[in-house]
Amino acid sequence: MCMSIEKIVSVDPTRFKLNPDNTNDFRLTGFHCCACDIFVFGAATNCQKCTDGNVIPVDFSGDGVLYSYTLIKVPPAGWTGTTPYVLAEGELLEGPHVLAELVDTNPEELFIGMPLKVSYAVDESGKQAVAVYKWKLSD
């Protein structure tokens, strides 16, 4: 990364936050419902299950398992990364599912259930440097 961290913004602050003082400090974020004990990834004003408004912001562990995946060879409009790319659906340990690119991997060697962890990369294709969350295989 050639850009200073202060100038990098999150792709979506309701889903992903990056510590401006420490590039190794990043989290997927969401909410926990105190009434029915479920987690929601991203923005929520109320619980997705019981609709209770007593939800509190949480940082997720960032660990999960591979729920499903696909190697995309024809990308959608707006995709700025390389093609083909692996789109993975990871299931966080807390429950919610998260779609993101799975980087640094050989698609031939993937299988459902592999352990994953959250990472990120900086997209500099636009005027603003954007931190985009990614999946990586766990070490």
Partner 1 sequence: MEQIRTNRKVRVAGVGLHPFGRFRNKDISTMAREAVVESLRDAGIAWNRVQVGYFGHVYYEGMSIGERVLSPLGLTGIPIVNVENACSSGSTALWQAFWMINAGLYDVALVFGAEKVPSGPVTVTGADSPDRLIGGDHMMAGYALRMKRYITETGASEASIAQVAVKNRQHASMNPYAHRNEMYSLEEVLKSRVIADPLTLFQCCPTSEGAAAVVICADDVIDSLGVSRENSPEILASVLTSGDYNGNGSDHSAFSPYRTEPAALKAYEMANISPEDVDLIQVHDAATIGELQQLESLHIFNKGEAWIATEEGRTSLSGDRPTNTDGGLLAMGHPFGASGIRMIHETVLQLRKQAGARQIENAQIGVSQCSGAGDVTTVHILKA
**Size of the chain in residues:** 139
Collapsing DSSP states into helix, strand and coil, what is residue 21?
Answer: coil
Question: Quick check: 96 and 103 in contact, CB under 8 A?
Answer: no
88 by Cβ neighbours in 10 Å (0-12 / 13-18 / 19+) ranks as buried
* The only residue of 2, 6, 22, 77 in contact with partner 1, by rule CB under 8 A: 77
Of 92-121, which residues contact partner 1 (CB under 8 A)?
95-97, 99-101, 107, 112
* The one segment of 17-25, 52-60, 81-89 that binds partner 1 by CB under 8 A: 81-89
CA dihedral (93, 94, 100, 106) in degrees, to 10, reads 0
Q: How far is the CB of 40 from partner 1 (least distance, A)?
A: 8
Question: Quick check: 60 and 28 in contact, CB under 8 A?
Answer: yes
Of 11-40, which residues contact partner 1 (CB under 8 A)?
11-12, 15, 40
Q: How far is the CB of 89 from partner 1 (least distance, A)?
A: 5
Q: Does 54 bind partner 1 (CB under 8 A)?
A: no
- Which residues partner with 87 through β-bridges? 70, 101
Q: Report the interface residues with partner 1, using CB under 8 A.
A: 11-12, 15, 40-41, 48-49, 67-81, 85, 87, 89, 91, 95-97, 99-101, 107, 112, 123, 130, 132-133
